[in-house]
Amino acid sequence: MQYAPVTTRLAGLGSDKWVLSAAATARRRAGQEVINLTIGEPDVPTPDSLIHSAISAMKAGRTGYSNGRGEDSLLQALSARYSAKLGRSIGTDRFMCLPGTQTSLYLVFMALCEPGSEVILGDPMYATYEGLIRASGATPVPVTLRPEHNFRLQATDIAEKITNDTRAIFLNTPHNPTGAVLTPSDLDAIGALAEKHDLWLISDEVYGDLTHGEARFTSALANPTHENRVITTASISKSHAAPGFRSGWLCGPAEFCTRALPLSETMLFGSQPFIADMTADAVASPPTLARAMATRMANRAALIHAALDGVAGLHVHRPEAGMFALIDIRALTTDSQRFALDLLAATGVAVMPGISFGAALEGWLRVALNASDSDTVEACQRIARFVQALTPEQLATTI
């Protein structure tokens, strides 16, 4: 039988990236104990106020068809939020509402790229990014994010990768999995590069409300000089603890939204109005839940650092934002997936291998910060015992 080339382009880029998460789930279903630190879900349930908002909207009859751009109430709420944050008017014609950041990014790449296009992005990267780019026929061009720059993407490194086929630069700030936050000067330099070479600048900003401590998030839209080529995406999945509602959006030039609208309508023809009403209530409120969550996650990153940094050669990288810490295991092994599988089998602690996020993170682990403090401490104790008990023979053969 014949299949479309997209199925070949995406082979191995879906659930194959999440082997450890699937193994942890299978272990739990088998009745075995597991501390699952693989998935970046919020550490609290969706607030009752948002659930009641969705229920009220359903009871009010908001269960019909919508449209490809979004419900007026949500578009107005997004316009008010972005205008207030950016200090200038951002009209409703610059937004499109879709089921989550993932769908928004899929629409963006399908609308901007084609076979032969190249998209520059940082390595490591979120596990689905390569698939999003390849789905459009474009080729991802990775740029190594270096620890000495705190994993922040550098304009000078991007410049070396630009060719005549480059169509876009893809940012993720705050970054998953490293927790890096691009500074205003970083963004200005990257924006100037995009202007010079007439490139699109795409930015996934879903963790924007989850900065830690003194870190401050700056949107790629902050500098109006570049706004005619910038498209950002976000959602309520992380900031409002509502991942299962699949409610996100993009903000870009009005012309982009007009050009992309038929594609959105072909894909979905609108999201659920009752979820749009709930989302409008969410984005109109201050990010109180996100700030509290970020504080807890920063504290857990500190717990992990205190417990594991320096143990048996481990090094813990503390994030500036987001839901993850990184553990450098290169002193022990460069096979992060084998290490993570062995760790799960021996201790019941599930973490993500760095290789799931790109070649640059091989020899690292990504650890979610959404478990309770007590589970986080217990997981660290198990990891410490595991690495301290490893023999040279085990390092050579098992890991």
72/114 Cα distance (integer angstroms) = 32
* CA contacts within 13 A on the Cβ side of 32: 15
Peptide bond into 174 cis (omega under 30): yes
Rounded to an integer, what distance in angstroms lies between the CA atom of residue 25 and that of residue 318? 27
Cα gap 122→360, rounded to integer Å: 9
Q: Phi-psi region for residue 310, left (φ > 0), alpha (ψ -120 to 50) or beta?
A: left
The pLDDT, as a whole number, for residue 305 is 98
Nearest to 253 by CA among 123, 111, 137: 111
CA-based Rg of the chain, rounded to a whole angstrom?
21
Q: At what angle do helices 288-308 and 373-389 cross, to 10 degrees?
A: 30
CATH hierarchy code of domain 48-284: 3.40.640.10
Q: Is 366 exposed, middle or buried (0-12, 13-18, 19+ CB in 10 A)?
A: buried
pTM, full prediction: 0.95
Q: Hey, how many other C-beta atoms are within 10 angstroms of the C-beta on 219? A: 20
Architecture of domain 5-43+288-397: Alpha-Beta Complex (3.90)
Neighbours of 244 (CB within 10 A): 10
Instruction: Write the DSSP assignment of 19-69 as a string of letters.
Output: HHHHHHHHHHHTT---EEE-S---SSPPPHHHHHHHHHHHHTT--S---SS
Bridge partners, 317 (sequence order): 326
Helix, strand or coil, per DSSP, at residue 256? helix
> Tens digit of pLDDT per residue, the chain (399 long)?
999 999 999 888 877 788 889 999 999 999 999 999 999 899 999 999 999 999 999 999 999 999 999 999 999 999 999 999 999 999 999 999 999 999 999 999 999 999 999 999 999 999 999 999 999 999 999 999 999 999 999 999 999 999 999 999 999 999 999 999 999 999 999 999 999 999 999 999 999 999 999 999 999 999 999 999 999 999 999 999 999 999 999 999 999 999 999 999 999 888 899 999 999 999 999 999 999 999 999 999 999 999 999 999 999 999 999 999 999 999 999 999 999 999 999 999 999 999 999 999 999 999 999 999 999 999 999 999 999 998 666 665 555
- Sorted by where each begins, the domain ranges of the chain are 5-43+288-397, 48-284
Instruction: Report how far residue 192's alpha carbon sits from residue 225's, in angstroms, rounded to the nearest whole number.
Output: 9
Give the Cα separation of 368 and 297 in Å (integer).
Answer: 9
